[in-house]
Amino acid sequence: MWQIDWMIGLLPTWVFQFITILGIVLLVGSRFLKNIPFFSQYNLPAYLLGIVITTLGVYYGGVRSGDAAWQAKIKAMEQQVKVAENQSKSVNTVIQTQVVEKVKVVKERVYVNKQINANTVAQQIDSKCIVPESAVVLINSASQNEVARGAGSTDGSASNVRASDVVETVVENYGRYNELREKVIAWQNWYLEQKKIFEGANR
């Protein structure tokens, strides 16, 4: 059955229009044939044939019109998606550039703060502040998401770690946090922009 529909679908639209008109002519003509002695015997066959032809013409003409309308909608949607994809690529480029620039600023500030720590803070606190072993154990445990335990966690003797080293670690960790923060904000902005673009394409 689908083969027949496929072959019929290959026919141009004017064929169905012609078939419909022919069916109407047969329907109308059959009303006159019954009044003509010789042709009156063909009245009923012409009438039935007219109904069949008109029905087929109208049906397949409607299907063809519906297909054409759907094809037009599909083509329009494909065009909208193509535009949305181009807009999406532009947004990707803009956001990626923004992230690179913002992360670069974070790294530059971390570098400057580390220089301040090395040149100024270290001279002010290293000779005055002793970092006990317990503090080192606590910091190392926290970095591994663990709780400080054991003898070292209560050892108050001086460690080999300078106070300025602790400050430098804090500066670096805050720098990593701010880098991740900028990336998360960028992902959120990216999602909102992409959502806006593709929702607009579906309207």
* 83 residue type, one letter: V
The whole-number pLDDT of residue 115 equals 95
- Rounded to two decimals, the pTM is 0.59
| Predicted confidence (pLDDT) per residue in 150-189, tens digit | 877 788 888 899 999 999 999 999 999 999 999 999 989 8
User: In the chain, what percentage of residues exceed pLDDT 70?
Assistant: 66
The whole-number pLDDT of residue 203 equals 62
- Give the residue, 14 or 52, on which the prediction is more confident: 52
- Give the residue, 58 or 188, on which the prediction is more confident: 188
Structure tokens at 134: 């317990």
- Residue 2 pLDDT > 90: no
Q: What is the mean pLDDT of residues 123-137?
A: 90
- In this structure, of 2-11, 77-86, 110-119, 183-192, the range with the lowest mean pLDDT score is 2-11
The whole-number pLDDT of residue 116 equals 95
**Residues in contact with 174: Cβ distance below 8 Å, sequence separation at least 6, in sequence order:** 110
**Residues in contact with 155: Cβ distance below 8 Å, sequence separation at least 6, in sequence order:** 132, 133, 134, 137
Distances in whole angstroms, Cα of residue 14 to Cα of each of 18, 58, 64: 6, 12, 11
Structure tokens at 184: 């998360």
Structure tokens at 4: 């027949």
**61-70: which pairs have CB atoms within 8 A and are 24 or more residues apart?**
61/13, 61/16, 61/17, 61/19, 61/20, 64/9, 64/13, 64/16, 65/13, 67/9, 68/13
Q: What is the mean pLDDT of residues 45-71?
A: 67
The backbone torsions φ and ψ at residue 132, rounded to the nearest 5 degrees and listed phi first, read -70, 160
Task: Report the chain's mean pLDDT, rounded to a whole number.
Answer: 78
Q: What would the 3-class secondary structure string for 43-64 be? A: HHHHHHHHHHHHHHHHHHHHHH
Taking a C-beta distance cutoff of 8 angstroms, is the pair 141, 147 a contact?
Answer: yes
Give the three-state DSSP class for 5. Answer: helix
Q: What is the mean pLDDT of residues 104-131?
A: 93
Structure tokens at 30: 């059959």
Strand-pair partners of 158? 132
